Structure 1
Amino acid sequence: MNHSQSPSDASLIERQAKEIEILKRRLLEAQKLTAMGELVSTTTHEFNNVLMAVINYARMGLRHKDEQTRNNCFEKIAAAGDRAAKITTGVLAMAKNRGDRMEPTDLSKIVDDTIVLLERELRKYRIELEFQNENAPLAMANGNQIQQVLLNLMINARQAMPQGGRLILKLSYDQANHTVDLLVRDHGTGIPADQLPHIFDAFYTTKTGPDETGKGGTGIGLAACRDIIEAHHGKIRVQSTVGMGTAFTIRIPAAAANPSATSTVSSGVPIAGSEMLPTSPVRH
């Protein structure tokens, strides 16, 4: 305690610090509920499409007596059922309250679940998605919170490409720093250099307001992302160039000293041009 501070002053400071921490937790929970609300219409519409596929192929199978047609209908129904299971699994995983507990987490599973939740929206806005998993090990993380960060970054990326474009997700392992790194790279409008140092500030936003889907524009999302990553003892970094796009990289400690590699998954072509971001990076 500073000698100039009285016990009552120290008590007040401690009480205020606790109140700030409580407000931060409530803000993160509100951000999570907001993200859930934003996804309700998207996932409900997608689930309805799956149900229509099941109903239509079941009716077709009932109308046709030949074995080949019926087998084809059964295959389509099974595929639709798998799709429905993925949608519900993604929603339930996000809704699950894991508290603040950190545990060895497969971030590739988090990415897959998040892609399922946003797939229809990305298609609607003509966003080409590429996900590369470069042999990344488990991370010490809270899966629910990391999914919240990823949802926010992917929605921001979609909004930065109003005419459509390419979104790259890349999961890799930095052996030197023993971190699992997740890159979210868009090829959109980019962020002006004078705004970059402020984008993680609470209530600061580069947007004029929420878009037609009601997403974005509050200045809360990236500040919440920063708080979540810092709570993971990780780092979040951004690079951006106007007219070329923006790249966010989150770095989270890996779970084990000698992690066992997961199977490599690559979708699309290797990343090209991901280093074409000459603007000085902002680190937090």
Structure 2
Amino acid sequence: MTDLQAASQASIVEQQAKEIEILKRRLLEAQKLTAMGELVSTTTHEFNNVLMSVINYARMGLRHHDEQTRNNCFEKIAAAGERAAKITTGVLAMAKNRGNRMEPTDLAKIVDDTLVLLEREMRKYRIDVDFQNQDVPAALANGNQVQQVLLNLMINARQAMPQGGRLILRLSYDAADHMVDLLVRDHGVGIPSDQLPQIFDAFYSTKSGPDETGKGGTGIGLAACRDIVEAHQGKIRVQSTVGMGTAFTIRIPAAELNPNGQPDVSHVVPVSGGSMLPTSSVRQ
């Protein structure tokens, strides 16, 4: 091979690598838009319920002139208003384009915001959510992207428990590795061992298609989750046993403290692919 041929081949490889990165970014954005679309119906119904509470208690307050009844109505209206604010804040935070900026992020708040968005859906499908919030340091993360991962994993968990069940979310800190761990554990149907090695591959899905809510089945959700976590210099691991459930563990580096005791702010590296992470069975 001549030097000219080698240079030409290297140029082609470099161009292909750039095109792959562009496609991965487009895939990530497509998954984000899909997740946003899937939440529209859920949040619209929930927001409508909040508005009905405000209207009904306002009418009750207008009908009754005693101070106690009116005060009770004001308290209910205020509570509904606070819930409406949480819903809109969660949706706007997810819709906001934060780019690839990484900053110290309170993952507990990300979990709380996501639970607000999915509360109605979890209640509808009889999913009991157990959030075990240990005292963990801030993670160096992009909050928007982490929420995208969490939404995807929680929706997958809900779909794995068609008859209802228990979903465990757990935050913990691995001081030895300086990593914040987020566990998403369902007690659903589980994933067959022969399918586990492929679940993070783009366009591979264990489902036959979208469910009755229009969610899932595209095969891009877990691939995007993997790319997001790896872009955070983190790891994602899946453990599953058929008939017992599936557990996803996301590991993200904790934010470093500079000499002044303040967390350093960095920027995420470009989203890229990576090798499949090890899998093993869920242990009780």
Name 2:51's counterpart in structure 1.
51
Name 2:182's counterpart in structure 1.
182
Name 1:159's counterpart in structure 2.
159
Q: Shift in Å at residue 280 of structure 1?
A: 2.0
Name 2:80's counterpart in structure 1.
80
Name 1:142's counterpart in structure 2.
142
Instruction: State how far apart, in whole Å, the 2-side matches of 1:51 and 1:93 are.
Output: 21
How many residues align? The count is 263
Q: Shift in Å at residue 7 of structure 1?
A: 1.3
- Asked whether the equivalents of residues 54 and 77 of structure 1 are also in contact (C-alpha less than 8 Å), the reply is yes
> 1:96-151 deviations in whole A, cap 9, x for unaligned?
10101111111111111111111100000000001011101100001111000000
**Matching of residues 110-259 of structure 1 within 5 Å:** 110-257=110-257
> 1:189-234 deviations in whole A, cap 9, x for unaligned?
0011111111111111111111011111111111110011010000
The one-letter code of the counterpart of 2:193 is A
Instruction: State how far apart, in whole Å, the 1-side matches of 2:9 and 2:251 are.
Output: 38
Instruction: State how far apart, in whole Å, the 2-side matches of 1:196 and 1:4 are.
Output: 44
Name 1:33's counterpart in structure 2.
33
Instruction: State how far apart, in whole Å, the 2-side matches of 1:15 and 1:207 are.
Output: 34
- Asked whether the equivalents of residues 36 and 95 of structure 1 are also in contact (C-alpha less than 8 Å), the reply is yes
Instruction: State how far apart, in whole Å, the 1-side matches of 2:50 and 2:219 are.
Output: 35
Name 2:98's counterpart in structure 1.
98
Query: Cα 1:209–1:68, aligned 2, differ >3 Å: closer, same or farther?
Result: same
Query: Cα 1:4–1:244, aligned 2, differ >3 Å: closer, same or farther?
Result: farther
Query: Cα 1:3–1:127, aligned 2, differ >3 Å: closer, same or farther?
Result: farther
Instruction: State how far apart, in whole Å, the 2-side matches of 1:163 and 1:140 are.
Output: 37
Name 2:271's counterpart in structure 1.
none
Name 2:65's counterpart in structure 1.
65
Q: Shift in Å at residue 256 of structure 1?
A: 2.1
The one-letter code of the counterpart of 1:155 is I
Gaps of 5+ in 2: 263-278
Name 1:14's counterpart in structure 2.
14
Instruction: State how far apart, in whole Å, the 1-side matches of 2:85 and 2:242 are.
Output: 40
The one-letter code of the counterpart of 1:108 is A
- The DSSP-based 3-state class of the residue aligned with 1:102 is strand
**Could you tell me the TM-score, scaled by structure 2's length?**
0.89
4+ residue runs over 3 A deviation: 2-5, 257-260
- The DSSP-based 3-state class of the residue aligned with 2:280 is coil
**Could you tell me the TM-score, scaled by structure 1's length?**
0.89
Q: Give percent identity, aligned residues only.
A: 84
> 1:28-71 deviations in whole A, cap 9, x for unaligned?
01100110011001101100110110010000000001100000
- Asked whether the equivalents of residues 204 and 220 of structure 1 are also in contact (C-alpha less than 8 Å), the reply is yes
Instruction: State how far apart, in whole Å, the 2-side matches of 1:135 and 1:63 are.
Output: 47
Instruction: State how far apart, in whole Å, the 1-side matches of 2:241 and 2:72 are.
Output: 49
The one-letter code of the counterpart of 2:235 is K
Name 2:108's counterpart in structure 1.
108
Q: Shift in Å at residue 171 of structure 1?
A: 0.7
**Matching of residues 261-272 of structure 1 within 5 Å:** none
Gaps of 5+ in 1: 261-278
Instruction: State how far apart, in whole Å, the 2-side matches of 1:5 and 1:145 are.
Output: 41
Q: Shift in Å at residue 281 of structure 1?
A: 5.2
Instruction: State how far apart, in whole Å, the 2-side matches of 1:281 and 1:199 are.
Output: 15
The one-letter code of the counterpart of 1:173 is Y
Instruction: State how far apart, in whole Å, the 2-side matches of 1:143 and 1:67 are.
Output: 44
Instruction: State how far apart, in whole Å, the 2-side matches of 1:30 and 1:131 are.
Output: 29
When the two chains are superposed, the root-mean-square deviation of aligned CA atoms in Å is 1.8
Instruction: State how far apart, in whole Å, the 2-side matches of 1:3 and 1:227 are.
Output: 35
Query: Cα 1:58–1:31, aligned 2, differ >3 Å: closer, same or farther?
Result: same
- Asked whether the equivalents of residues 241 and 281 of structure 2 are also in contact (C-alpha less than 8 Å), the reply is no
Q: Shift in Å at residue 4 of structure 1?
A: 9.3
Name 1:267's counterpart in structure 2.
none
